[in-house]
Every structure is written in structure tokens, then in C-alpha cells.
């Protein structure tokens, strides 16, 4: 990730939240912050990055907002000066990012719009990244986000933390958003880097903040445990050149034992206390992986049972793929291949490279090497993350038969 992108991730949510809180115009505030980023991309390479980039972004965004406001409202000079003075006093509050997320999860919006708008405004994800996560065209997602902002304006929403009762009503959406942001940070859908440590840390920090406010919510506790246990593996997920290292081949001595210990403690505290939700189940699965000293010691039968429970609770193509991997490790690849066959014929699911990557691995386990090679090629064509592309291309080479290589070389290698 570039230095400018890192600054954008750190500073933009605070600037956007401060402007939205001050003026109550989410759409114009977002435009002003984006204009500040454009200005930074042009000016900083020439003049150098300022000592306080967040203050610079805030100052320029404030000026852009004022310029737009002046042109639209034609206010008298006295009002302009008053507005400038108040803008200069803007200081992002510690709760601003959380407040911004809860605003994006306003009940006036549909659930998909809540998630998409929050990913865009707070997570810093591009419209294309969000569209890939939802498996929809980019143009469709752009329209959804635009309509969501318009609906917020029409609803006359205010920038303030909701009451405890209102917050509880938005927690499910908020948890979904934080989970999706963390998922993007854990395995980026595009770019040169597999992971984004800054975005992971932001996700974990925000979950901690929400969970602190609602300590009795076991699903929030499960989500926090899931993030900690998953993020604990980050250092071992790539090798020295940034290539992806699959779970079975990771150096587990590089896993963060402090995060694992905290995550296991949360799982042990949250699971036995009542009905189990999807984040608790996923945290339990991550805990089983974390407790295995080596890959061969993984308790796959327990993981398979947990995925079966998760599939019954919240069925999805991703759950099916992960469940199939567990089934393959317990019962062999053939029943797992039967499980994912419907996904290969589902137009929406088949656009996702992970469907074909899992299919390829299962075919490889079944010693159907030439078919695995075809599936790996399809996955590599669909993948947009460079580390994942490298890994899949390496699997293509590994599953290319000698006869195929001979044919290729006959025309020149």
C-alpha cells in the first residue's frame, strides 16, 4: 500500500466525520474530503508530505467545503467569516468514526445499502472492491451507494451517537460491516499486498469500542475473538517476496501468541453462555486452528461439525466452500466435490475465483490433476489480488503434466 493510501485510510474518516458532524451534509462532506485527497496526490509529491498530514487533509477539505457552500448559498461575507472560524476549530472527536459508522447504519437504509455505504465512507474501500465483495457489477454498487446518501439527506439525519436502544438495533449491521472491512484487510481483493495491517487494526479497534458499549452482546465478543485469532496468523501468511503461504504450510512460530491467547479466552467465555451465533461459530473454528501446534494435528472432525452448524445457521457460498474443505479433510475429496458442484453452475458464485480455487484443490486431492490444472487456470484468470494470482499460477505449474509441457516446448520454450 502506498504512503498516500495509508494516510487516506488514517485521516479521511476523521475528516469526513468532522465535516458531516458540523454541517449535517454527508454527501458534500465526502466530496470535499475526496477533493482534498486529489490535492494531496498532486501537491505532496512536489512539496513533500506535511508534518501533520491529517491536519492538512482536514484544513483543505474544510476549505473545499466552504468554497462549495459559498457558491451554492451566496452567503454574505460575515457568515462566511463565521463559518471559516468555526471550521478551523473542528477537531475530530474520539467517537467520530464510530458515530459515522452508526449513521451509515441508519434504519432508513436497506441492509445492503447500510453495509455498502459504511464500507465506502469508513472502510475506505473503493466501489469496485465493495462490488466484488457483493458479487455485483460496479455500476450497480455505485447506484446503491448514491441512493443511500440521498436517502440519508431526505431522512434529515443528525450526526450524533444514537441512544443505547437505537444502537442495539444497528449492531447486527455494524458487525457485518466490520467483518467485511476486516475480511478485505485480511485478504485484499486487489493490489500488490495480500493484507492491510492498518485496516485490520482499525477493524479490531472499532469492534472493541462497540463491544465495550454493549458488553453483553455475545456475537460482538465472538466477532472480536474471530478477528484476533485470524489476524494472529498475518505474519505467516506471506513469504519474503510477498507470495501467499496457505494455512497448511505456514510457520506457526510466527503466529501472534498474545492475540491467540486473548482470542481463546474470549471464545471460552462467550460460547458456553447461551445460543450460538455465526461469529461465535467462526471464532470457534479459528480457535481450533489456533490450538493445533502443527497442521497435521488440526482437529478437522470438530471443524467439520462447526461448519455444518454454521451452514445450517447462515448458509452461503463461502460457508459451503469452507465446509467442503473440512469435509475433504475428514471424509475425502469426493463428497466435498459433490458439495461445491452447484456453485460451479451458479452464475453469480462462479464469478468468484475462490470457488474455482477450492474446486482445483479438491480435484488435486482426488488425483484428477489435469482437471485441477484447468480449474487453477480459471481461478487465476478471475483473481484480482497479485499474491493470490502468483500462488494460483504456481499451482498451475505444479499440476501441468509432462506431456503438456512437451507439447508446449515443441513450439518453443
Give the model confidence (pLDDT) of 43-97 as tens digits.
888 888 888 888 899 899 998 888 877 776 655 555 555 555 554 444 444 457 7
pLDDT band at 263, cuts 50/70/90? very high
Classify residue 81 by burial, with Cβ atoms within 10 Å: 0-12, 13-18, 19+: exposed
- Mean pLDDT of the region 378-395: 92
Kindly report which listed range (159-163, 220-224, 267-271) carries the lowest average pLDDT score.
Answer: 159-163
Kindly report which listed range (11-25, 150-164, 201-215, 317-331) carries the lowest average pLDDT score.
Answer: 150-164
Instruction: With a cut of 70, say whether residue 322 has pLDDT above it.
Output: yes
Q: Which residue has the higher pLDDT, 17 or 339?
A: 339
pLDDT band at 172, cuts 50/70/90? confident
Instruction: With a cut of 90, say whether residue 233 has pLDDT above it.
Output: yes
Instruction: With a cut of 80, say whether residue 336 has pLDDT above it.
Output: yes
What's the pLDDT at 260? 97
Instruction: With a cut of 90, say whether residue 380 has pLDDT above it.
Output: yes
What's the pLDDT at 93? 47
The reported pTM is 0.71
Give the model confidence (pLDDT) of 276-308 as tens digits.
899 999 999 999 999 999 999 999 999 999 999
Q: Which residue has the higher pLDDT, 203 or 411?
A: 203
pLDDT band at 160, cuts 50/70/90? low
What's the pLDDT at 331? 97
What's the pLDDT at 136? 80
What's the pLDDT at 5? 76
Instruction: With a cut of 90, say whether residue 222 has pLDDT above it.
Output: yes
327 touches 360 (CB < 8 A): no
Instruction: With a cut of 50, say whether residue 352 has pLDDT above it.
Output: yes
399 touches 364 (CB < 8 A): yes
What's the pLDDT at 379? 96
Report the distance separating Cα 26 and Cα 152, nearest Å.
8
Report the distance separating Cα 305 and Cα 300, nearest Å.
9
Computed over every residue of the chain, the mean pLDDT equals: 84
Classify residue 194 by burial, with Cβ atoms within 10 Å: 0-12, 13-18, 19+: buried
Of the candidates 212, 234, 119, the one whose C-alpha atom is nearest the C-alpha of residue 173 is 119
What's the pLDDT at 100? 81
Q: Which residues pair with 244 in a beta bridge?
A: 238
Instruction: With a cut of 60, say whether residue 402 has pLDDT above it.
Output: no
Q: Could you tell me the CA-to-CA distances from 187 to 180, 182, 200, 284, 357 in Å, in that order?
A: 11, 9, 10, 20, 15
What's the pLDDT at 412? 40
What's the pLDDT at 182? 87
What percentage of the chain has pLDDT greater than the value 90? 38
Instruction: With a cut of 50, say whether residue 147 has pLDDT above it.
Output: yes
Q: What grid cell was written down for 192?
A: 500488490
Q: Which residue has the higher pLDDT, 193 or 224?
A: 224
218 touches 277 (CB < 8 A): yes
Question: Which residues, including other chains, have CB under 8 Å from residue 268's CB and lie 6 or more apart?
Answer: none
pLDDT band at 184, cuts 50/70/90? confident
What percentage of the chain has pLDDT greater than the value 70? 85
Question: Cell 452567503 maps to which residue?
Answer: 75
Helix pair angle (353-365, 333-344), 10° resolution: 150
Give the model confidence (pLDDT) of 300-315 as tens digits.
999 999 999 999 999 9
What's the pLDDT at 106? 83
Report the distance separating Cα 83 and Cα 68, nearest Å.
12
What's the pLDDT at 404? 45
102 touches 162 (CB < 8 A): yes
What's the pLDDT at 406? 39
Amino acid at each position: 500500500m502506498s504512503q498516500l493510501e495509508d494516510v487516506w485510510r488514517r485521516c479521511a474518516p476523521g475528516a469526513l466525520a468532522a465535516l458531516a458532524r458540523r454541517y449535517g451534509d454527508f454527501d458534500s462532506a465526502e466530496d470535499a474530503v475526496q477533493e482534498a485527497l486529489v490535492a494531496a496526490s498532486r501537491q505532496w509529491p512536489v512539496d513533500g508530505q506535511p508534518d501533520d498530514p491529517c491536519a492538512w487533509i482536514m484544513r483543505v477539505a474544510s476549505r473545499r467545503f466552504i468554497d462549495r457552500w459559498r457558491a451554492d448559498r451566496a452567503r454574505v461575507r460575515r457568515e462566511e467569516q463565521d463559518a471559516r472560524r468555526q471550521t478551523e476549530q473542528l477537531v475530530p472527536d474520539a467517537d467520530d468514526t464510530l458515530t459515522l459508522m452508526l449513521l451509515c447504519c441508519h434504519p432508513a437504509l436497506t441492509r445492503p445499502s447500510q453495509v455498502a455505504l459504511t464500507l465506502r465512507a469508513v472502510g475506505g474501500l473503493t466501489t469496485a472492491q465493495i462490488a466484488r465483495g457483493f458479487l455485483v457489477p460496479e455500476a450497480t454498487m455505485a447506484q446503491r451507494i448514491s441512493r443511500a446518501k440521498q436517502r440519508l439527506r431526505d431522512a434529515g439525519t443528525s450526526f450524533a451517537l444514537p441512544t443505547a436502544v437505537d444502537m442495539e438495533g444497528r449492531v447486527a449491521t455494524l458487525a457485518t460491516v466490520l467483518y467485511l472491512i476486516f475480511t478485505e484487510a485480511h485478504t485484499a481483493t486487489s493490489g500488490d499486498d495480500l493484507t492491510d495491517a492498518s485496516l485490520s487494526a482499525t477493524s479490531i479497534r472499532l469492534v472493541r469500542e462497540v463491544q465495550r458499549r454493549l458488553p453483553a452482546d455475545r456475537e460482538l465478543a465472538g466477532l472480536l475473538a474471530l478477528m484476533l485469532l485470524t489476524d494472529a496468523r498475518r505474519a505467516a501468511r506471506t513469504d519474503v517476496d510477498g507470495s501467499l503461504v496457505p494455512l497448511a504450510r505456514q510457520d506457526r512460530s510466527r503466529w501472534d501468541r498474545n492475540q491467540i491467547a486473548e482470542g481463546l479466552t474470549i471464545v471460552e467465555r462467550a460460547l458456553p453462555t447461551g445460543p450460538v451465533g455465526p461469529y461465535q461459530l467462526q471464532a470457534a473454528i479459528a480457535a481450533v486452528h489456533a490450538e493445533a501446534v502443527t497442521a497435521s494435528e488440526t482437529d478437522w472432525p470438530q471443524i467439520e461439525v462447526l461448519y455444518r452448524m454454521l451452514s445450517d445457521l447462515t448458509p452461503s457460498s463461502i460457508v459451503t466452500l469452507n465446509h467442503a474443505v473440512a469435509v475433504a479433510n475428514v471424509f475425502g475429496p469426493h463428497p466435498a466435490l459433490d458439495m461445491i458442484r452447484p456453485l460451479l453452475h451458479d452464475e453469480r458464485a462462479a464469478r468468484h475465483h475462490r470457488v474455482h480455487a477450492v474446486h482445483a484443490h479438491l480435484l488435486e486431492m482426488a488425483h484428477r490433476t489435469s482437471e485441477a490444472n484447468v480449474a487453477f487456470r480459471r481461478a487465476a484468470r478471475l483473481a484480482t489480488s497479485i499474491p493470490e494470482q502468483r500462488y494460483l499460477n504456481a499451482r498451475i505449474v505444479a499440476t501441468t503434466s509432462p506431456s503438456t509441457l512437451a507439447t508446449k516446448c515443441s513450439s518453443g520454450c
